[in-house]
Amino acid sequence: DDDVRLPTDAEIERRERLTYEFRTMLRTVAEGTTPEEEVPSLLARNFDAIMEVIGTSVGEGDGCEDGRSLLEEIAREEAENGGDGGLDRVSDAIDLILAFAESFAEEARSADEAHKRLLGTIFQTIAPETD
């Protein structure tokens, strides 16, 4: 079937925004222009963009291979344009970003579970079950 769905203007704008935000953050981390102790804050401020880039696939209408993730596309282009050691710097920066995102998500999940248990305890205290 030759029916290929082209991305909408909104999808193209979203992809361009995400690409710009992620590239800017990636370059900042890869080039070491932010003091090491400020990197977690930088990543936390950009957490939504990180998660969107990780989960965004690039379709045929975007001029990329169908199903290639936006993260893979950005990483490939940044490594190609990074000069000597570009691949290593970009790879290390992406590893750091992904490790941060994984830790952040795990901490959020743990906090959510703790809050649910606390809320359950509060409800049990307010309205204990009767037999």
Summary mean pLDDT of the chain = 81
What amino acid occupies position 72? E
Condensed to tens digits (0 to 9), the pLDDT of residues 13-64 reads: 888 888 899 889 998 998 888 898 999 999 999 888 888 887 765 554 444 4
What's residue 10's pLDDT?
Answer: 86
Three-class DSSP labels, the chain: CCCCCCCCHHHHHHHHHHHHHHHHHHHHHHHCCCCHHHHHHHHHHCHHHHHHHHHCEECHHHCCCCCEEHHHHHHHHHHHHCCCCHHHHHHHHHHHHHHHHHHHHHHHHHHHHHHHHHHHHHHHHHCCCCC
